[in-house]
């Protein structure tokens, strides 16, 4: 028979043993999650935007499948509401690619709910901070995206299927090689754009423009349009004054913006013989990402040389 004194000794010991068991179990679980590998040789990827989905598939090759949620130019990422079938795709995904930065909160939220999936959030990759002066969330317009995202994808896929790590790295390098012609166009445009003043109806193209040396004017007008608000009379007046004074080399217009004041701003520029270049927020149908970017840079270069 165990005495009361002995039981007082054993009870704390048993409690410590149980607690240690729980701690080791949780550590083991976390370790298992961080070193997760797919049980088959097929990786399931879900990308919020088709531009990212295109790169994801190029690096993945025949080792899985990719679903892009925003895959039509008519779809608005800001207004998009996921269906039940899309939710299931996120739930089954091994890798989720989100833009982040408040652009596709639905994708980021789905990623948080899938603890087993690897999540590539471009806002984190680019150390984005929300708010004034924190950056621009249109990361597919970053001039190094065709280098940075494929590299990130190859590393992520390699963690899931270590035996194919070299295969993924080779695919990433092949895609980066295809993007060399885009980089060449960026260098060419920079020679003509550096130091030039621009106006834009929305800050969609800013990550490219600012990297290539442009001076963006009247950002309040563009910010109001992007947020779905009307620019103030002061913003409109400043837009007109900058054009009247001959300070603006080119106006960048997002053709997907249907705001009345944005359209009027573009018309004012055209009436005063200022070139207008279109830069979309979503990729055109039946156009590859690299070709899309090159086409826009060509149009910008032609406008600058007029």
Domains, the chain, ranges and CATH? Answer: 43-178 (3.40.50.1980), 182-304 (3.40.50.1980)
Mean pLDDT value across residues 53-72: 98
Distance of CA 144 to the CA centre of its chain: 12
Share of the chain above pLDDT 90, in %: 79
Biggest CA-to-CA distance, the chain: 102
pLDDT per residue as tens digits for the range 204-221:
999 999 999 999 997 899
Residue 276's alpha-carbon distances to 196, 265, 268, in angstroms, are 14, 11, 10
Q: Give me the sign of the Cα torsion angle 58, 60, 65, 70.
A: negative
Structure tokens at 141: 């317009």
In degrees, rounded to 5, the angle at the alpha carbon of residue 268 between the alpha carbons of residues 263 and 300 is 80
Query: What's the whole-model pTM score?
Result: 0.86
Share of the chain above pLDDT 70, in %: 86
Alpha helices in the chain (DSSP H): 4-34, 50-60, 84-92, 105-113, 122-125, 145-160, 165-178, 180-193, 206-211, 219-226, 233-244, 260-271, 289-304
Q: Give me the sign of the Cα torsion angle 42, 48, 50, 52.
A: negative
Please say whether the beta carbons of 90 and 112 come within 8 A. Answer: no
Structure tokens at 284: 């055109």
Whole-number average pLDDT of the chain = 89
pLDDT per residue as tens digits for the range 160-212:
999 999 999 999 999 999 999 999 999 999 999 999 999 999 999 999 999 99
């Amino acid at each position: 028979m165990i005495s009361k004194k002995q039981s007082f000794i054993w009870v704390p010991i048993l409690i410590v043993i149980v607690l240690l068991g729980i701690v080791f179990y949780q550590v083991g679980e976390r370790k298992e999650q961080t070193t997760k590998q797919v049980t088959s040789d097929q990786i399931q990827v879900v990308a919020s935007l088709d531009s990212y989905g295109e790169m994801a598939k190029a690096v993945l090759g025949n080792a899985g499948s990719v679903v892009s949620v925003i895959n039509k130019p008519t779809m608005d990422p800001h207004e998009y509401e996921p269906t039940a079938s899309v939710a299931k795709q996120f739930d089954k995904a091994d890798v989720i690619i989100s833009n982040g930065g408040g652009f596709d909160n639905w994708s980021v939220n789905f990623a948080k709910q899938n603890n087993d999936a690897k999540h590539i959030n471009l806002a984190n990759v680019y150390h984005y901070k929300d708010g004034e002066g924190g950056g621009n969330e249109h990361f597919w317009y970053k001039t190094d995206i065709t280098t940075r995202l494929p590299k990130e994808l190859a590393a992520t896929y390699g963690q899931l299927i270590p035996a194919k790590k070299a295969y993924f790295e080779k695919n990433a390098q092949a895609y980066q090689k295809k993007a060399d012609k885009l980089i060449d166009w960026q260098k060419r445009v920079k020679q003509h754009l550096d130091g030039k003043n621009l106006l834009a109806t929305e800050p969609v193209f800013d990550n490219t423009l600012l990297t290539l040396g442009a001076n963006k004017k009247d950002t309040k007008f563009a910010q109001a349009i992007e947020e779905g608000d009307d620019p103030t009379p002061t913003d409109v007046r400043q837009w007109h004054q900058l054009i009247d004074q001959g300070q603006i080399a080119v106006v960048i217009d997002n053709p997907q913006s249907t705001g009345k004041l944005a359209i009027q701003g573009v018309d004012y520029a055209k009436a005063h013989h200022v070139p207008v270049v279109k830069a979309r927020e979503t990729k055109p149908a039946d156009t590859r990402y690299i070709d899309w970017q090159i086409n826009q840079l060509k149009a910008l270069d032609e406008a600058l040389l007029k």
